[in-house]
Structure 1
Amino acid sequence: MGTAVLVIGIGNTLRRDDGAGWFFAKALADQLQRAGVSVHLLLQQQLTPELAIDAAELAPDQIVFVDASLDVQEATLTEVTPSHAAPVLDHRLDAAALVTLMRRLYGVRAKSWLVQTPALDLGHGEGLSEKAQEGLRAAPAVAASLLGGS
């Protein structure tokens, strides 16, 4: 793994398990820092084109997006590859579209990853379901995968 990592937590702590993206991102950043990696943590409600500027200024070796998902049963780590199609410039982007934008406009070549952590309840309120809490416990294993994966 490179020496600088940008961790972007995506979510909303006022929408129950949607906040798991932030909590997981914080835990992951802590694990990586303990391993001696320089980490910059950003917590966002959604991905926006302006994050491409942040990535260009920070010039990280790796970018890790962290988001809660109703579609996974346990934390997953997948590589994000830029799209060959033009990114959709909207107020909400997915990780692949943002990585494409970062690369095309600012020359950001960081290896990028998406961590999806399980969610069950995205309703209004605070606190995480047991399933989301279980997902957070995978942060050390995901950090180990990132540290050993490059």
Structure 2
Amino acid sequence: MLLIIAYGNSLRRDDGAGLLMAERLEQACQALGLMVKRISVHQLMPELAVDIADQAVRVAVFVDAQPAQPGDSPTLFPLAVEAASPSVGHHLTPAVLLLYAQQLYHHCPPAWQITVPGVDFDHGETLSQTARDSLSHASALAQQLAVLCR
């Protein structure tokens, strides 16, 4: 199973682009025959380590919007547990969640991050042209994820 964890705030314009990308990825991956579980949250929480550590999860992918330049494209890159250090603060990173899954549940699948470029994170519900254009990459990203899941 492919686990997609999207995080962002749909009321902060482009910050919601990761949530929309995750919806499109889920549909595209299912069309490719993958079993997918999608979780959408405003921010990463320690409880997500339980979902990540599920033995059925073959690959975990985190999807988030990041400030970028107009015209930038989404990026897919691997995450490593070793790069994380435990956090007790308010902000968790995907790498820290992977560490929690490994340390607490003794299972951590290969994990990847997709960053969706955004240029406007002000209050509002519409996406910038950069973020809208990025959503068109969902099908190609799904193809890459399908290879990673096999």
TM-score by length of 1: 0.91
CA-to-aligned-CA distance 1:72-116 (integer Å, 9 cap, x gap) = 621000001102653113332111111111111112221100000
Aligned to 2:36: 39
**Is 1:49–1:89's contact at 8 Å kept on the other side of the alignment?**
no
| Cα distance, 1:94–1:123 mapped onto 2, change above 3 Å | same
1:15 has 2:12 as partner: yes
Q: Unpaired segments of 5 or more residues in structure 1?
A: none
Aligned to 1:80: 79
Amino acid in the other structure paired with 2:53: A
Q: Secondary structure at the match of 1:52?
A: helix
Match of 1:52 among 34, 49, 54: 49
Amino acid in the other structure paired with 1:41: R
Residue 57 (structure 1) shift: 4.0
**Is 2:2–2:37's contact at 8 Å kept on the other side of the alignment?**
yes
Residue 146 (structure 1) shift: 1.4
Q: Percent identity, please.
A: 37
For 2:17 and 2:83, locate their aligned partners in 1 and report how far apart those are by CA, in whole Å: 30
Q: Secondary structure at the match of 2:101?
A: helix
Aligned to 1:114: 113
CA-to-aligned-CA distance 1:48-78 (integer Å, 9 cap, x gap) = 1110022234641110100001146210000
Root-mean-square deviation (CA, aligned residues, Å) is 1.6
**Is 2:55–2:107's contact at 8 Å kept on the other side of the alignment?**
no
Aligned to 2:137: 138
Q: Unpaired segments of 5 or more residues in structure 2?
A: none
**Is 1:83–1:97's contact at 8 Å kept on the other side of the alignment?**
no
**Is 1:59–1:108's contact at 8 Å kept on the other side of the alignment?**
no
- Greater mean alpha carbon deviation, residues 19-28 or residues 49-58: 49-58
For 1:123 and 1:111, locate their aligned partners in 2 and report how far apart those are by CA, in whole Å: 33
Match of 2:67 among 67, 70, 94: 70
For 1:110 and 1:6, locate their aligned partners in 2 and report how far apart those are by CA, in whole Å: 10
